[in-house]
Structure 1
Amino acid sequence: MQRVTGIGGIFFKCKDPEKMRQWYQTHLGIDMSPYGAKISSQTESGKEGYTLWTPFPDTTSYFGPSEQSFMINYRVADLEALVAVLKEEGVSILDELVAHEYGKFIHIEDIEGNKIELWEPAE
């Protein structure tokens, strides 16, 4: 079973997300939106994909319960099947699977309590 197929996003806390977006736009040429940068890529199956790079306010609770200042979103091929396997393996599942128009999501924790986001993109 294929598990992670790529990096779906890199999210990090900062004091001023707007200033951070502007700095990266000005100095590194990363085209930004209010949601961060969408960096295009190609999946192993040849489909077009992307990775989000997003600064969050340092007050966000989105990374909780972890106290970490970052969170990585991993792209997966079949989230429901992977979650079933992870449960069997005793991995800590933090919430229920949710579906949006852009894909399915769930959050897990690694062995040090770092929150991880798993994402199956919508077709």
Structure 2
Amino acid sequence: MTETGKVTGIGGLFFKTDDVDGTKEWYRRVLGIQEDQPGYGILFPYDQDKDGLKAYSVFSLFKSDTDYLKPGTQEFMLNFRVSNLENLIEKIKAQNVDVEGPVAEEGCGKFAWIVDPNGIKLELWEQ
């Protein structure tokens, strides 16, 4: 049986800052959070998921002038881990919510984006 698309957890939090390097240094110095993968951010690993893949949440900082959070209007973006992204997209569209652009496939999974009623861009990630 194919699992229906749904959110399975928080994939990460992304927010804008005028000083990416200084903010990363603050989080390292104050909270001991080290950047694991330059350009991706800080990874918080979990035990392996059901498919034997290493699962993690991401905490990442972007320059204030980034377009990555657009068309969201907030200074941050939430990333949700999901199962069966294609099925979830069908459910989302059935609720008259626009999906921002095509599904993107990266080395770490598939991604889609929507914007909530508060202007918060949501990134949906199937690892």
Q: TM-score, normalised by structure 2?
A: 0.86
Query: Do structure 1's residue 65 and structure 2's residue 68 form an aligned pair?
Result: no
Kindly indicate whether residue 98 of structure 2 is the aligned counterpart of residue 95 of structure 1: no
Structure 1 segments unaligned to the other structure (5+ residues): none
Over 3 Å counting, the alpha-carbon distance change for 1:13 and 1:102 in structure 2 is same
> Which of 34, 43, 46 matches 1:41?
46
Whether 1:26 aligns to 2:32 is no
TM-score, normalised by the number of residues in structure 1: 0.89
Offset at residue 12 of structure 1 (A)? 0.3
2:88 counterpart SS class: helix
Give the deviation of 1:65 after TM superposition: 1.3
| Kept in 1: contact 2:12–2:58 (CA 8 A) | yes
Specify every segment of 5 or more residues in structure 2 that has no aligned partner in the other structure, as ranges. none
Inter-partner Cα distance in structure 1 for 2:51 and 2:99: 30
Contact 1:6 1:76 in 2 (8 A): yes
How many residue pairs get matched? 121
